[in-house]
Amino acid sequence: MQIMTMHLAQFNSLNKKKPSIRKTKSNLARWAKGMVSFNKDRKSKGERAYTLDEYIDHIHGKIVKDPRPFEKMEVKKSLADERMEANKKLKSVTEFKGSCSLPDDSYKDSIKGKYTVAIAYNKGGYTVIPADEVKHIGK
């Protein structure tokens, strides 16, 4: 039977000092390239760009919140938006009484049975023919 032991030397918590940030020329050049793409991404989200020092702190976990909030610019309304707002203030045509009533078409029903549309002669166009002459179409 084997006994498992835990070596406490591996989990020593005495060294709590975080490594310092080394700002060498090669690191600064690498961070500058990374900052460009990082700021492009922030700009597409509508956030402000970081300076190099802020970006370095962000990479190393020192910035939790944005140090300076983004200042939003006032956006001017377009001419189309202004016109839409002006049109909303106008009264609609449907608000006036009687303006959208349909004309009376009841007389058409009484006339429909009296006439038909057909070709009057073999090579002629369509014509309106009275119902009592339908038997003579094409003769």
Is residue 7 predicted with pLDDT exceeding 60? no
Total residue length of the chain: 139
Residue type, 48: R
| Distance from C-alpha of 34 to C-alpha of 27, rounded to nearest angstrom | 11
Across the chain, what does the average pLDDT equal?
A: 78
Per-domain residue ranges of the chain: 21-70, 106-139
Residue type, 39: N
Residue 6 confidence class, pLDDT cut points 50, 70, 90: low
75 phi and psi angles, rounded to 5 deg: -100, 125
Residue 66 confidence class, pLDDT cut points 50, 70, 90: low
